Amino acid sequence: MKVALVHDWLTGMRGGEYVLEALLDIFPSADIYTLVHIKGSVSKKIENQKIHTSFLQNMPDAKKRYRWFLPLMPRAIESFRLEGYDLVVSSSHCVAKGVLTGDTPHICYCHTPMRYAWDMSHHYFNRQRYSVTTLFFIDKVMPRLREWDRRTAKRVDLYVANSGYIRDRIKRVYGEPAVVVHPPVDVEYFTPGENDVKENYLVVSAFAPYKRVDIAIDLFNERREPLIVVGSGEDQKRLRSMAGPTIKFEGAVSRERLRELYRNSKALIYPGEEDFGIIPVEAMACGTPVIAYGKGGATETVLPLVDETTKSPTGVFFDKQETTVLAEAIGRFEASRERFRPAGTRIRAERFTKDIFLKNMWDVVHKAVPALV
């Protein structure tokens, strides 16, 4: 079976890239098509495949500022020629789902309909981040981008959503049904440690506007208490400028250091509204509870403490992205810390193993295109 995997861009290993890597276990000889590829930025498993890039690869400064070429991305994804393939599987959070496949069956693993164009555009495009001139240009571009995104939804034969939350968003934005297959989490690597003395709270996140890392920084500035922040991204300068002396940034850390931080933290603070959220599951795999904003994918992974009848809770939810509400959630967590057992938290994470992902995705492919398997 000749398969093409289509991915928005390859510029680092994040949740979408781990899904792409897992798809290569199902389709080990697949060719990869992507808008922009920074060589060496992703795993060897992905780098070893035949990778085709679009004309954006050769645009000035595209490897650093590829997001600025968003208006050209529909044209770039449509420039690929996929004749001769038996199956196309796109891994899409931007434009990959709009690839032209002709009569070839197309399954889209959808991380989300394009955030920039739909639900979260106000987080990305506002006066705090861009000039009036830039926002004027964006306002002109976005209606055409939304129209293209919705119109090309029919190019997909089957949507696979990474969560029930995204399944509902696909239905609302595209008018299409989807099946849910949760993404894989490396729970074999992320395991509990032996340290019983845990002093710090932890944030692990890409520094994107909708992640709302600023809420945690503001709160721990007010409390003058230590907070470790792991991550990097477009909001890095702003977030670092906000931080007081008790906030420690560690940048993009190794997997070994990340596991150590999970193991040694009282709890992970997760203030963004995520599509699925691999990071909370990694923390739980290490036996670490999660204090999360109670919307999005976290509601499918974290079992929140509600009252004394909650069995084996793995975290606490807060319902508004405000410092006072986050502070209340931390207070509830601190008052009930004995309720959060590392073993029970770990068991919750084991629902999201790579083996479960592979089985569920293989079942999806088999049912959707039985002649190919």
Based on the fold, state whether residues 85 and 213 are members of the same structural domain: no
Which residues fall within 8 angstroms of residue 315, CB to CB, at 6 or more apart? 267, 280, 284, 289, 290, 291, 292, 298, 302, 303, 304, 305, 333, 340
E strand or H helix at 53 = strand 51-53
Residue 151 in any domain: the answer is yes
| Both structure tokens of 275 | 């599509």
Most distant pair of Cα atoms in the chain: their distance = 62
Strand pairing of 290-293 and 315-318?
parallel
Residue 315 in any domain: the answer is yes
Where is average pLDDT lowest: 180-189, 218-227, 231-240, 328-337?
A: 231-240
Check residue 296 and give left, alpha or beta (phi > 0: left; psi -120 to 50: alpha): left
Angle at 283 between CA 282 and CA 285, to 5 degrees: 65
Phi, psi of 227 (to 5 degrees): -140, 130
User: What is the separation of C-alpha 201 from the centre of its chain, rounded to a whole number of angstroms?
Assistant: 21
In the three-class reduction of DSSP (H, G, I as helix; E, B as strand; rest coil), residue 260 is classed as helix
Residue 33 in any domain: the answer is yes
Q: What is the pLDDT of residues 94-134, one digit of tens each?
A: 999 999 999 999 999 999 998 776 565 555 554 555 566 66
Based on the fold, state whether residues 97 and 146 are members of the same structural domain: yes
Based on the fold, state whether residues 127 and 264 are members of the same structural domain: no
Residue 194 in any domain: the answer is no
Task: For the chain, give the mean pLDDT.
Answer: 92
Query: In terms of residue numbers, what domain contains 223?
Result: 200-352
Residue 148 in any domain: the answer is yes
> Span 288-303, mean pLDDT?
96
> Span 235-260, mean pLDDT?
95
Separation between Cα atoms, residue 308 and residue 312, nearest integer Å: 11
Which residues fall within 8 angstroms of residue 109, CB to CB, at 6 or more apart? 19, 23, 89, 90, 91, 92, 160, 162, 181, 361
- DSSP class per residue in 194-235: S-----EEEEE----GGG-HHHHHHHHHHHT--EEEE--STT
Based on the fold, state whether residues 142 and 220 are members of the same structural domain: no
> Span 203-221, mean pLDDT?
94
Residue 133 in any domain: the answer is yes
Based on the fold, state whether residues 102 and 7 are members of the same structural domain: yes
Residue 195 in any domain: the answer is no
- Residue 229: give its domain's CATH number: 3.40.50.2000
Based on the fold, state whether residues 341 and 214 are members of the same structural domain: yes
Residue with tokens 């319902």: 319
Q: What is the pLDDT of residues 38-96, one digit of tens each?
A: 999 999 999 999 999 999 999 988 877 887 788 899 999 999 999 899 999 999 999 99
Residue 190 in any domain: the answer is no
Query: Strand 87-92's sheet: what is its strand order?
Result: 51-53, 31-34, 3-7, 87-92, 106-110, 158-161, 178-180
Based on the fold, state whether residues 177 and 54 are members of the same structural domain: yes
Angle at 261 between CA 20 and CA 23, to 5 degrees: 10
| More confidently predicted of 138 and 83 | 83
Based on the fold, state whether residues 9 and 125 are members of the same structural domain: yes
Q: What is the pLDDT of residues 192-210, one digit of tens each?
A: 998 777 889 999 998 988 8
The structural domain count of the chain equals 2
